[in-house]
Amino acid sequence: MSTLYDLHCHSTASDGTLSPEALVERAAAAGVTHLALTDHDSTDGVSRARKAAASHGLSLVPGVEISVTWEARVVHIVGLHIDIGHADLQAGLASLRSHRDWRAGEIARKLAKEGIDGALEGAAEFASGPVISRTHFARFLVRKGRAMSVRDVFKHYLVRGKPGYVAGTWAALADAVGWIRAAGGLAVVAHPARYEFTGAKLRKLLSEFRECGGQALEVVSGSHSRDDIVRMSRFAQELGLAASAGSDYHGPENPWVELGRLSPLPQGLSPIWTSASWPGQPTH
């Protein structure tokens, strides 16, 4: 039987718009055989996704996407095949969610100065899980008519240098990788091209990541161009990292990204699902 891996997506447990069940159903319909649910700083959707996966004959990889601050920039680290019951991991994620709650208040305070009232309550209406994200603020601002699209809200309000931006201090790289490894998982640098780092800076991140115990680079991502894929393949090879692939699907509102609709991994890379520490691989 042929396989189709999609190792990065979001449900209503963070800033996705589909429930874990609806997400799994859609992935199965798209032909995905192995799906990782990787919500931001939460594993709340995993149990429900796992149950749904069982009835669709799909393999559900328990995952998470951890917010990290590295050299004053935000970087995302995906954990795959984690034990969601692990205490250190859950304590780390709980502290990040508290930080999100604090940041949400700060964002609302800054938006109020721009004449936008009620943003905290408004954003919370869009958040049905334990995580409050900038995406929820963006959906609220679109509803308020402040911008035409979520993308526009980010551009004008929610990114560095804009009035609703609050930097925050997220997990340290070594801590995030440490929690994932402690929980028996594999750590992946998510959507590396999104950071727009220079080659030297990305090399530095990836070297530190590998030294902390990180294993893979998300070479194929819903947000990567063909050129990004080629460039990131070179980094994976140079740094001796395995390669991962994930759509970073957030819901049908973004039709340019679809579950399972991914370019194949370029030849010459080591797919993370063939690595010795991926569950189900023969041991030597």
Question: Contacts with Mn ion: how many residues (CB under 5 A)?
Answer: 5
Question: Is residue 200 a contact partner of residue 229, using CB atoms and an 8 Å limit?
Answer: no
Per-residue x/- track, 8-27, ligand AMP (CB under 6 A): -------x------------
Residue indicated by tokens 């750590």 = 187
The one segment of 30-38, 105-113, 128-136, 261-269 that binds ligand AMP by CB under 6 A:
128-136
* Pairing state between β 186-189 and 73-80: antiparallel
The one segment of 27-35, 80-88, 149-157, 212-220 that binds ligand AMP by CB under 6 A:
149-157
How many beta carbons lie within 10 A of that of residue 83, not counting itself? Answer: 14
For residue 198, with 0-12 CB atoms within 10 Å meaning exposed, 13-18 middle and 19 or more buried, which class applies?
exposed
The one segment of 78-86, 129-137, 197-205, 228-236 that binds ligand AMP by CB under 6 A:
129-137
Asked whether position 154 contacts ligand AMP by CB under 6 A, the answer is yes
Looking at residues 39 to 58 of the shown chain, list those that interact with ligand AMP (rule: CB under 6 A): 40
Closest residue to Mn ion: CB criterion: 76
Per-residue x/- track, 241-280, ligand AMP (CB under 6 A): ---------x------------------------------
> What strands, in cross-sheet order, belong to the sheet with 5-6?
5-6, 34-37, 59-70, 73-80, 186-189, 216-221, 242-246
Q: Which of 135, 233, 244, 247 binds ligand AMP (CB under 6 A)?
A: 135
Asked whether position 15 contacts Mn ion by CB under 5 A, the answer is yes
Distance CA 233, CA 235 (A): 5
Asked whether position 34 contacts Mn ion by CB under 5 A, the answer is no
215: partner contacted, choices Mn ion, ligand AMP, none (Cβ within 5-8 A by kind):
none
Q: Which of 11, 17, 42, 67 binds ligand AMP (CB under 6 A)?
A: 67
> What are the Cα distances from residue 17, in Å, to 7, 39, 67, 196?
18, 11, 20, 27
- By C-beta, is 50 or 250 nearer to ligand AMP? 250
DSSP string, 127-164: --SS---HHHHHHHHHHTTS-SSHHHHIIIIISTTSTT
Q: Which of 6, 41, 44, 248 binds Mn ion (CB under 5 A)?
A: 248
Question: Is residue 72 a contact partner of residue 91, using CB atoms and an 8 Å limit?
Answer: no
Instruction: Report CA Rg, the chain.
Output: 18
Q: Which of 11, 17, 42, 133 binds ligand AMP (CB under 6 A)?
A: 133
Query: Which residues of this chain interact with ligand AMP, rule CB under 6 A?
Result: 15, 40, 67, 133-135, 150-151, 154, 250
